[in-house]
A and B are shown apart, each in its own frame.
Chain A
Amino acid sequence: MEMFIPFGEVFLAAAVHASLQLELGGLLLLYHASLGKHIRRRTKKLVNNYIAGIGTLAILTLTGFCFMMDRYFGSALYPEELAVVVGMLVAIAVLAWIFYYRRGRSTELWLPRSVARYINRRAKNTDSSIEAFSLGVLTGLAEMPFTLILLLTAANSILALPFDYQLLAAGMYVAVVILPMVILRLAIRRGQTVADIQRWRVKHKNFFRIMTGVGFLALALFILAFEVLA
């Protein structure tokens, strides 16, 4: 039970992070731009580097938060501080329901149009592995307003684990976050086109919107029940 709660929190935070759509959208843009210009092997390499960029950013941010909390707070957060985190999670859940997706039959997100156009342009002009890697990092950073609190929550839970299990939990977080991108990669490899996948995303947009908000709320309730009120 002692380890179930921290692992549960890490998994839930990772699942909510994975449900966000910017990184997946960026991957789809990269796929579409690259398939139109390069041979398949090159596209595969670029996509792998993009996913590596996102994973690297996640693990670095996670471990950075762990280090800072351990150094400056001495340990995991106190219940009073966690109550603030719970409040922020609830607020972001509401924001995710209202603002995350723009209106209309598309998967346009809350990002300012200039940032979205910049990412679009970068995806179209990505030719080398390092550019694909930095595109992954860029989209991860652009998603930070929604993912920062998730990474903070996961870092707090990781610190509550015994030392031997901390790396495993961090690895689990990154694995869950990159899972949708790996699934997308497999789907395209098996013959799905970018248009099919985009249609699927548009069709299930409301489901994703609801589940993201519910995920944030569930994480907030989990922390409230097992950490703040316990």
Chain B
Amino acid sequence: MIQNFENDKHNQHKSKRENFQGKQKQYKSKQKSFRDKHNRGKNKHRLVSVADFQFQILREEIAKDAKALQIPEGAAEEITKKVILEAEKWLDMAGKATVSELEEKILAELKKYHANLAYVYQNRGKII
């Protein structure tokens, strides 16, 4: 009878532990999806391909930066077109690359055409 009591107690502890571990796993997976949601597009080590990366958004951002720097519209459009073309070509050849590698490539291309535009691109989100 004592043995049964001890077995029951052991089983209770075991089930409590399993419940707790199950809840921990659920909590960790919730945390992960929360993190993923907030890091969407910001995870620099995420692998991207030509289809994944949103070149249209990049085009608009570079256009806005160029306008803010008072670069003439025609020149800004040419620069944007060439930079995006080179970046797409590079990414196509590479197949897949991390976001940070792609950003370095874009920065290198921007530096060829306009130093201030490259500087602004490099320092996005680093003003404050």
Contacts and interface: CB of A to CB of B under 8 A. Distances in A.
B68 A35 contact: yes
Interface stretch (A1-9, A46-54, A79-87, A107-115): A107-115
B68 A25 contact: no
Contacts of A199: 119
Interface in B75-128: 116-117, 119-120, 123, 125-128
B127 A107 contact: yes
Contact of B128 (A104, A107, A196): A107
Interface in A15-45: 21-22, 25-26, 28-29, 31-33, 35-37
A149 interface: no
A195 interface: yes
A116 interface: yes
Contacts of B120: 32, 194-195, 198
A29 B68 CA distance: 11
Given A32-B120, A106-B123, A198-B123, A22 B128 contact: yes
B125 A195 contact: no
A126 interface: no
B128 A193 contact: no
A198 B69 contact: no
A25 B128 contact: yes
A193 B127 contact: no
Contacts of A106: 123, 126-127
Interface residues of A, number: 28
A195 B66 CA distance: 11
Contacts of A37: 64, 67
Contact of A36 (B67, B116, B126): B67
Give the interface centre of A107, A116, A193 by most chain B CB atoms within 10 Å.
A193
A119 interface: yes
B64 A193 contact: no
A37 B63 CA distance: 10
A129 interface: no
A56 interface: no
A106 B69 CA distance: 19
Interface in B52-78: 63-70
Given A193-B116, A198-B123, 13 more contacts: A22-B128, A32-B68, A35-B67, A36-B68, A104-B126, A108-B126, A111-B128, A120-B127, A193-B68, A195-B119, A195-B120, A196-B116, A199-B119
11 contacts: A28-B127, A36-B63, A36-B66, A37-B67, A106-B126, A107-B126, A194-B68, A195-B69, A195-B116, A195-B119, A199-B119
Interface of A: 21-22, 25-26, 28-29, 31-33, 35-37, 104, 106-109, 111, 116-117, 119-120, 193-196, 198-199
Chain A to chain B: the 8 pairs with minimum beta-carbon distance, closest first: A36-B64, A106-B126, A25-B128, A35-B68, A36-B68, A195-B116, A36-B67, A25-B127
